[in-house]
Amino acid sequence: MNINLTIIGQIIAFFFFVVFCMKYVWPPITAALEERKQKIAEGLDAADRAERDLRAAQEKAEADLQEGKEQSAAIIEQANKRASQIIDEAKEAANAEALRIKVAADAEIEQEVNRAKEDLRAQVAVLAIAGAEKILEATVDQAAHAKLVDKLAAEL
């Protein structure tokens, strides 16, 4: 336990160790630590941002969905309205057509009846003349009496 040259040796060794540590050990490791700290901070930031983005996206999706729902409801309603409108229109058209057909049929029927009446009238005139001929047993001057007979037939 004597003080000797060892003390100088220790000082020199200590000096070299400290210098080495200061130049080659401390800076790289603390730099790595600092860089990691930064990275973690950035990562946390990014996570925060992502969470915010996600929330915004969720809100937007929800809004979009709501809008879509509303739109589709509107479309369905419109379609329903349109459908009933079409049905109404079709009904009306059908009614109108039916009416038209009925009117046409009525007109035709009347026409037919008139024609039949005309035919009947003509035949009645012939029959009446034939009947009269029979009754009179004589030939009637057709030309003389035709005017009379036609007048009779027109009165029928």
Partner 1 sequence: MATELMTSKSYISHHLTNLTFGNLPEGMTRYDGSTVADGGIWTFAHSSATVNEAAAMGFWAINVDTMFWSIGLGVLFLWLFRKVAVSATAGVPGNLQNFVESIIEFVEENVNSIFHHKNAIIAPLALTIFVWVFLMNLMDLVPVDWIPYIAQQMGIPYMKVVPSTDINATMGMALAVFALIIYYSIKMKGVGGFMAELSLQPLGKWLLPFNLFLEIVGLIAKPVSLALRLFGNMYAGEMVFILIALLPFWAQWVLSVPWAIFHILIITLQAFIFMVLTIVYLAMAHEEH
Give me the residues that bind partner 1 (CB under 8 A), please. Answer: 1-11, 13-15, 17-18, 20-22, 24-33, 35-36, 38-39
Nearer to partner 1, 18 or 99 (CB): 18
Nearer to partner 1, 17 or 72 (CB): 17
Smallest distance, partner 1 to C-beta of residue 6, A: 4
Nearer to partner 1, 33 or 127 (CB): 33
Smallest distance, partner 1 to C-beta of residue 19, A: 8
In the numeric block, the tokens 């409108």 are attached to 85
Q: Dig out the tokens for 138 from the structure.
A: 């004589």
Q: Dig out the tokens for 57 from the structure.
A: 């996206």
Smallest distance, partner 1 to C-beta of residue 40, A: 9
Nearer to partner 1, 5 or 144 (CB): 5
Query: What is the DSSP-derived secondary structure letter of residue 23?
Result: I
Smallest distance, partner 1 to C-beta of residue 50, A: 20
Smallest distance, partner 1 to C-beta of residue 11, A: 5
In the numeric block, the tokens 């400290």 are attached to 18
Compute, in degrees rounded to 10, the torsion defined by CA atoms 84, 86, 89, 90.
-110
21-39 burial by CB neighbour count: b if 16+ within 10 A, else e? Answer: eeeeeeeeeeeeeeeeeee
Nearer to partner 1, 11 or 73 (CB): 11
Radius of gyration of the chain (CA): 60
Question: What is the distance, to the nearest Å, from the Cα of residue 87 to the centroid of all Cα atoms in its chain?
Answer: 17
